[in-house]
């Protein structure tokens, strides 16, 4: 009887310990929790140069350089994890990581899931095609095989153009390529999509400006790219932010403080030049 009691007590204590130390999978990602753990965990998807890419088996890039400054400011180590892009927001929400840093476009939909920092740079959608392709405009994508990175703004733009959307009254709004025979294929990152341009498995890849330009620069003349311009002449316009769990205010304040400083010192632009050159040299 006494033995059983001690066993139950021991089990209870172990359970409590797990709950406290975060072994249950949920970590304390508040500023205090990060300081206690001694590390800042950042999730990214490293197929998106110059913002994040693998160099010498390490994830580097603009977002990582920014997060290094944030870790320094907090006084902890930085731990970067390379995961699927479409899982990053969920991981931030559930506390697996403190910061999502992946050239993430700030959108109203995403704001329902996470909190965003101030914007540290802007981007536009670009279309990458083979150098000898006849595709010269967004409208030319009608009937074509288009590749995008899963869960990105490019994915949403092309998928909506193919399937159409639903307006506030529940009415179907025809998409630009609806019924044209155009298809969308999703990939883990834009580089993997671009590989499929070579053997004509895809006709075009849609992704953000700098990643598109670097794909072209590193293609030995195989590809070219141009800006996505809608038929009415309008352009896409996106702003990148880092994201944290909803209500993680103190961490967000540190992030914004560091970002404001980096922006004021022109460091973000320097990081962009540095890592664009580094990935091209690779």
d(CA 28, CA 24): 11
29 binds ligand ARG (CB under 6 A): no
236 binds ligand ARG (CB under 6 A): no
3-state helix, strand, coil split of the chain in percent (to 5) is 40, 25, 35
Q: Strand locations in 182-222, DSSP E?
A: 183-187, 204-208
103 binds ligand ARG (CB under 6 A): yes
Q: For the CA atoms of 250, 256, 258, 261, what is the dihedral angle to 10 degrees?
A: -140
Least distance (Å) from ligand ARG to the CB of residue 185?
16
147 binds ligand ARG (CB under 6 A): no
Of 208, 248, 251, 252, the one binding ligand ARG (CB under 6 A) is 208
Cis before 50? omega within 30: yes
Instruction: Please give the structure tokens belonging to residue 106.
Output: 């700030």
52 binds ligand ARG (CB under 6 A): yes
Q: Which is nearer to ligand ARG, 30 or 100 (CB)?
A: 100
Q: Which is nearer to ligand ARG, 44 or 117 (CB)?
A: 44
Of 40, 45, 158, 210, the one binding ligand ARG (CB under 6 A) is 45
d(CA 166, CA 33): 42
279 binds ligand ARG (CB under 6 A): no
* DSSP code per residue over 33-46: HHHHHTEEEEEE-S
Residue 86, phi then psi, degrees to nearest 5: -75, 0
104 binds ligand ARG (CB under 6 A): yes
Q: Which is nearer to ligand ARG, 183 or 239 (CB)?
A: 239
Tally Cβ neighbours within 10 Å of residue 53.
Answer: 25
Residues sharing a CB contact under 8 Å with residue 104, sequence separation 6 or more, in sequence order: 88, 89, 110, 116, 240, 241, 242, 243
Of 29, 105, 191, 276, the one binding ligand ARG (CB under 6 A) is 105
Least distance (Å) from ligand ARG to the CB of residue 137?
21
Least distance (Å) from ligand ARG to the CB of residue 221?
25
Binding segment toward ligand ARG, per CB under 6 A, in 29-37, 103-111, 159-167, 191-199:
103-111
Least distance (Å) from ligand ARG to the CB of residue 195?
16
Least distance (Å) from ligand ARG to the CB of residue 224?
21
48 binds ligand ARG (CB under 6 A): yes
Tally Cβ neighbours within 10 Å of residue 29.
Answer: 23
Q: Which is nearer to ligand ARG, 69 or 82 (CB)?
A: 82
Task: Give the total of residues touching ligand ARG (CB under 6 A).
Answer: 17
d(CA 197, CA 130): 6
Binding site for ligand ARG (CB under 6 A): 44-45, 47-48, 51-52, 85, 102-105, 149, 152-153, 189, 208, 238
């Amino acid at each position: 009887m006494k033995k059983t009691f001690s066993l139950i007590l021991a089990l209870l204590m172990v359970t409590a310990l797990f709950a406290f130390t975060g072994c249950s999978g949920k970590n304390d990602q508040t500023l205090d929790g990060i300081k206690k753990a001694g590390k800042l965990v950042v999730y990214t998807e490293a197929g998106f140069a110059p913002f994040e890419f693998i160099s010498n088996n390490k994830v580097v890039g603009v977002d990582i350089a920014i997060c290094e400054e944030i870790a320094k400011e907090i006084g902890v180590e930085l731990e970067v994890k390379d995961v699927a892009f479409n899982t990053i927001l969920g991981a931030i929400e559930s506390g697996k990581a403190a910061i999502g840093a992946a050239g993430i476009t700030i959108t109203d939909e995403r704001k329902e899931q996470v909190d965003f920092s101030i914007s540290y740079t802007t981007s536009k959608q670009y279309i990458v095609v083979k150098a000898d392709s006849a595709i010269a405009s967004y409208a030319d994508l009608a009937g074509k095989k288009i590749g995008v990175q899963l869960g990105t703004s490019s994915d949403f733009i092309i998928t909506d153009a193919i399937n159409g959307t639903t307006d506030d009254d529940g009415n179907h709004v025809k998409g630009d390529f609806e019924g044209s025979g155009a298809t969308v294929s999703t990939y883990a990152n834009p580089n993997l999509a671009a590989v499929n341009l070579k053997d004509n498995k895809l006709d075009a890849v849609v992704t953000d400006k700098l990643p598109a330009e670097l794909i072209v620069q590193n293609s030995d003349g195989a590809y070219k790219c141009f800006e996505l311009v809608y038929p009415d002449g309008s352009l896409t316009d996106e702003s990148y932010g880092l994201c944290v769990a909803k209500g993680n205010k103190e961490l967000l304040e540190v992030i914004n403080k560091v970002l404001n400083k980096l922006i004021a010192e022109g460091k973000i632009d320097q990081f962009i030049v540095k890592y664009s050159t580094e990935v091209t040299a690779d």
